[in-house]
């Protein structure tokens, strides 16, 4: 597939690739220069539980999961 570098130096991943690999805005990638004119783009892993709350809230059994207010455990 072909894409173009913008005047800001941005490269757009074609929609077909984004859909196939479920790439969403905000996801991070590593870019590695392999050789002159050759690069590798690798999606960085998301945190282990990212999206779990949204997934639970989407459960078809209404009321199955109810988020509660609590302090963050990120600093533990």
Cα(61)–Cα(44) distance, rounded to whole angstroms?
32
pTM score of the predicted model: 0.52
Instruction: Give the domain ranges of the chain.
Output: 1-68
Class of domain 1-68: mainly beta
Burial classification of residue 23, based on how many CB atoms lie within 10 Å of its CB (0-12 exposed, 13-18 middle, 19 or more buried): middle
1-53 pLDDT, tens digit each: 889 999 999 999 999 999 998 888 888 999 999 999 999 999 887 666 777 77
Instruction: Please tell me which residue, 38 or 72, carries the higher pLDDT value.
Output: 38
First to last CA, the chain: 45
């Amino acid at each position: 597939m072909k894409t173009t570098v913008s005047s800001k130096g941005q490269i757009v991943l074609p929609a077909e690739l984004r859909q196939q690999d479920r790439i969403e805005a905000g996801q991070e990638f590593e870019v590695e220069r392999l050789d002159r004119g050759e690069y590798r783009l690798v999606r960085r892993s998301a945190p282990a539980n990212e999206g779990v709350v949204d997934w639970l809230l989407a459960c078809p059994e209404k009321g199955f999961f109810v988020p509660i207010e609590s302090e963050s455990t990120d600093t533990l």
